[in-house]
Structure 1
C-alpha cells in the first residue's frame, strides 16, 4: 500500500508541475483545459484518499492552481478576435428578423453530447430562441441518459475493468454503450475514481509502460497516410510527417485515392525536404507506388518501406486527430449545411463539379495554413522547440546524414505506444472510384468559368455564395452548349 501511495504522490506532483508550467508558458486554450481536467481528476482522487499526508494542504494548492488556469482560459476567450462561422440563417418578417436554425446540424451536435446551451452559444443565439425553434421544428431531445444508480454503475464498470484491466475512460464508455447504456462522461469518470483510483492516477501521467518512439534523425522515417473523413463528397486528404521532428512534409486534398496521386504528393515533398531513408504506411494499395519508389531508390532488404496497422503509425494518426477536430470538421459542417439548407445532391454531377471547383482550392489553402502553424508550434515534451527547429537541430547534429548508419532495423522501427483511444485514426471507409464529373466542362468553358469566379474569393459566407452562383452559371453554360448542338 505504501509503495502504491508513493507512486501516486510522484504522479500527482508531476501533474501539478505540468499544470503550473502551462499556466506560466502556454496560451493555447485546449491545452490549458486539458490541464484543468487533469487537476479535476486529481482533486477527486485526493478526496477518496484522505489517508494521504497533508491532504488538505495539497487540495488547497491544487484548487488555487485550477482556479488560476480557469481565469487564464477566460481571459484568452474574452480577448479572442477570431470570427465565428455562423451556420444560422435569418428570415425577413416585416419587423425583427427571424432566426432559422439548421435542423440536421442541430441534431448532430446534440448527438455528439453538446448541451442545448452550448449549441445556442455556437450558433450565437439565446437559449430561449433555440428552445422556441426546437419546439416549432419538432426537434426531439433524443440524447437521454440511462437511469442507473452509482452502485449499479460501479458494478458494471468493475465488470468492464475485469475484462480489460487497463481500460481507460474511453474504453469503459464504449463498454457501457455496447451494453445499451448511455452515461454522462462525468459520472463515468467519478465511477473510475471509486472503482480504480490508483489506475486513474497512473493514466494521468501514462505511467503504464509504453514503447518510446525512437528513430535516427530527420528524414530517417516518414509516416504517410490518407484521411477519408470527407470521402462522402469525393475529397481525400493525403499526408506525410517526419517521425523525428514532427514536421508535416506534405498535406494535400485530392479528388481520388489512386497510387499515382499518392506518389505525386510524396515526390513533391521529396523535392522540398529530401528523400527519406524509410517510409511507414498501412497496407492500403494506394501506397504501393511509394513503396516501389523507396525500394528502388534506397534498396532492398533494409526496410525501405515498412507496413503495419494504424496503431503502428501514431505520428500521423495524432496529426489526423488535430486535423479532424478543427479544419475537417469545419468543412464537414459546411457540406452538411449545403445538403440541408440548399438541397445539395451528391448524385447531381453539376453540383458535385461545382463543389470541387469551389472547395478543393479552399481546402488546400486551409491545409497549407495548418501545415505552417503545425510546423511552427512549440512541443512541450521537446523543451518547447518547434518541428522546424527540431529538424534543423537534428540535421546539423547528424551532419545531414542521420540515417546512414541504421541499416539493421526490425518491424517496430518508428512504432510508438498503442493508444486505447482510436478517435484520431477513425477514417471513414470508402474510395473515389468515379471521377467522370471532373470532365464536365470543355477547356474553353472552364476558362470562362475561371474568369467569372475565383474559388478562394471571400464571400463572407465560407464559399457558399460562390458555390451557389457557380452552380447556376455552369447550368447556363451547359444549356448554351446544348442549344448550339441542336440541329
Structure 2
C-alpha cells in the first residue's frame, strides 16, 4: 500500500497518518480490506497474527514481551526469530527510516494547541509514535519541545514529588475506585478505577453524575465482564455512591474460600489513604483535565456560563462525547507508557499493560478470581434501575431538536464543541 499524497510505502497497517508526509490515510484501509478479501491467498489466522504483531509493536513493547503477549493472551506460539522476521517483512523498525523532523515539529505544534500542552517530552514522544505512527528519537522530541515551548518545559522541570511506599503481590490484588469532581461545576463528572500493582486503568468514564450508585456499579459490571476477572480486594472511599458496587463485589467474592472472601474483600477508607487512584488523578490533571478546567473557566469568565442547571446541561450535551473520546485516548496512552523505577516503591516498573497481563515477567502473580458473564448477570439483575432526571432529559431532547433544525454537525473536537455550545446557547436564549 502506498500513500496517495507522497507515494511512500505504508509500512504498517492501521496507521492513521503517513510517516513521511503526515497526511491522514485512514481511508485507504476500507478499500484495501475489500481488495484483500478477493485477492490474497493468506488465511485469516495469518492476517490476525500480523495485525496483533503490528499493534503490540506500535505500543512500544519489547520483542520478548510481544512473544509472551501472543502466547498468553491469544494462544499463538511464535519464536523470537520468527517475530523478528515478520517485523522485518512488514518494514516495522525503531532505528531506521526516521520521520522528517519538519513533520514531527508540525505534529508537536498541533498537539500543543490542545491538552497536549500539558505533556512532557516522554508523553509527547509516545503520542507521536502511537497516534501518528512516527519513527522518531526521544532526544529529538525533547529538543523540539524545548525550542517550541520553552516556558512550559522549564516549569515542568521544577516539579517535586513526595512518594509513598506501596506494596502489592500482583495484578488484581486491589482495584482502587474514585470519582473526579474538578469538572463537576460544569456538569461533567468522571469516575476511574486503577489496578494497584500494574497501575493499569481499568475504566475511565465521564457522565452527568458520579454520585449515583447504579452508575458506578454498571461500570464495575462492564469491567468484570470485559476482563473476566474480579479483584481480590476493592478499595473505595466512604461515599454512598459505592454501596451497590461494594455489595455486588462482596457477593461475587463470597463464592471463594480465601481469607478475604465475602465482606472482607471490600475496603472503605478516606480519600487521602486511597493513594493509588488519588495520586493518579494528579497525573491526569497535569496532562489532561487542566486544559478542560481552563477551557470551561474561560467560558465562565466571559459570562458565557453561569453555573445554572440549564448551562451545565448544555455543556454536557456539547462536550460529553468529545471528552469521553479524549479519556479513552488517554487511557490507552497511559496503559502502554513506561513507568520508570522509583526507589521508594515496592512495585515493578514497566508498561502497565504488560505488568497486568504478564506479571510473571515482573516477579508478580495474578491475584484475581475468574468470573463468568453468567455470574455477573445473575447478581447484576438484582440491582435497582438507574435513576432518571426527567427535567434534564426534556432539556436534552430540546437541545437535540435545536441541533437538528440548525443543521449543526456532531462535534469531533473541542473547537467544534465550543462553536455548537455558543450557537445552541443563543438559539435557546440561555
Using the size of structure 2 for normalisation, the TM-score is 0.52
Determine helix, strand or coil for the equivalent of 1:296. helix
Match of 1:453 in 2: 408
Match of 1:355 in 2: 315
- Measure the CA separation in 2 of the matches of 1:77 and 1:450: 39
1:334 to 1:377, Cα distance in 2 relative to 1, 3 A: same
Q: Work out the number of aligned pairs and report it.
A: 261
1:437 to 1:443, Cα distance in 2 relative to 1, 3 A: closer
- Measure the CA separation in 1 of the matches of 2:107 and 2:395: 47
Question: Which of residues 349, 353, 364 in structure 2 aligns to 1:388?
Answer: 353
Deviations 1:378-415 (A, max 9, x none): 011277521000011127999985346xxxxxxxxxxx
Alignment check: 8 A CA contact 2:178 2:193 kept: yes
Deviation at 1:83, TM superposition (A): 3.9
- Measure the CA separation in 1 of the matches of 2:243 and 2:208: 18
Match of 1:285 in 2: 240
Deviation at 1:226, TM superposition (A): 0.5
Name the Cα RMSD after superposition: 4.1
Match of 1:313 in 2: 274
Correspondence 1:61-100 to 2 at 5 A: 80-85=108-113
Alignment check: 8 A CA contact 1:294 1:304 kept: yes
1:438 to 1:457, Cα distance in 2 relative to 1, 3 A: same
1:373 to 1:397, Cα distance in 2 relative to 1, 3 A: closer
Deviations 1:64-84 (A, max 9, x none): xxxxxxxxxxxx999933444
Match of 2:214 in 1: 260
1:397 to 1:336, Cα distance in 2 relative to 1, 3 A: closer
Correspondence 1:349-428 to 2 at 5 A: 349=310, 351-381=311-341, 385-394=350-359, 402-403=367-368
Deviation at 1:362, TM superposition (A): 1.6
Alignment check: 8 A CA contact 1:453 1:470 kept: no
Alignment check: 8 A CA contact 1:223 1:313 kept: yes
Match of 2:373 in 1: none
Unaligned stretches of 5+ residues in structure 2: 1-103, 116-148, 153-157, 255-260, 342-346, 370-386
Alignment check: 8 A CA contact 1:218 1:395 kept: no
Deviation at 1:330, TM superposition (A): 0.9
Structure whose alpha-carbon radius of gyration is higher: 1
Using the size of structure 1 for normalisation, the TM-score is 0.46
- Measure the CA separation in 1 of the matches of 2:251 and 2:237: 19
- Measure the CA separation in 1 of the matches of 2:428 and 2:105: 43
- Measure the CA separation in 2 of the matches of 1:297 and 1:122: 51
Match of 1:219 in 2: 172
Deviations 1:127-153 (A, max 9, x none): xxxxxxxxxxxxxxxxxxxxxxxxxxx
1:269 to 1:453, Cα distance in 2 relative to 1, 3 A: farther
Match of 2:287 in 1: 326
Deviations 1:313-336 (A, max 9, x none): 111112100112232111111111
Question: Which of residues 222, 235, 238 in structure 1 aligns to 2:188?
Answer: 235
Deviation at 1:463, TM superposition (A): 2.5
Deviations 1:436-473 (A, max 9, x none): 652234758736635833443347x3622121112234
- Measure the CA separation in 2 of the matches of 1:392 and 1:86: 32
Alignment check: 8 A CA contact 1:353 1:440 kept: no
Determine helix, strand or coil for the equivalent of 1:465. helix
Alignment check: 8 A CA contact 1:259 1:287 kept: yes
2:420 is the alignment partner of 1:466? yes
- Measure the CA separation in 1 of the matches of 2:165 and 2:413: 47
Determine helix, strand or coil for the equivalent of 1:225. strand
Unaligned stretches of 5+ residues in structure 1: 1-75, 88-119, 124-185, 190-202, 405-432, 477-487
Alignment check: 8 A CA contact 2:216 2:245 kept: yes
Alignment check: 8 A CA contact 1:359 1:455 kept: no
Deviation at 1:267, TM superposition (A): 1.3
Deviation at 1:217, TM superposition (A): 2.1
Match of 1:140 in 2: none
